[in-house]
């Protein structure tokens, strides 16, 4: 995984949510890129934590 492309806020939110971190680790490279594209477009902390929560529960 290329950690240089992970937005800091996404990394922090992901590290606070074990379920999301585990699910992210199991995604394909293409799926991870889709999530990172979404993370790059997030404009608030609340929105980032929502993105990560949705990742954890399989909504995205």
Q: Spell out the domain ranges in the chain.
A: 3-56
Residue 3 has pLDDT above 80, yes or no: no
2 pLDDT band, cuts 50/70/90, is low
What is the distance of C-alpha 41 from the center of its chain? 12
5 pLDDT band, cuts 50/70/90, is confident
pTM score of the predicted model = 0.88
User: For residue range 10-55, what is the model confidence (pLDDT) as tens digits?
Assistant: 999 999 999 999 999 999 999 999 999 999 999 999 999 999 999 9
Structure tokens given for 28: 């394909």
CB 10 within 8 A of CB 52: yes
CA 36, 37, 40 angle in degrees (round to 5)?
Answer: 85
What was the pLDDT predicted at 48? 97
């Amino acid at each position: 995984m290329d950690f240089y492309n992970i937005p800091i806020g996404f990394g922090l939110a992901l590290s606070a949510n074990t379920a999301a971190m585990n699910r992210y680790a199991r995604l394909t490279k293409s799926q991870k890129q889709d999530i990172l594209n979404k993370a790059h477009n997030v404009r608030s902390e609340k929105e980032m934590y929502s993105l990560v929560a949705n990742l954890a529960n399989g909504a995205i």
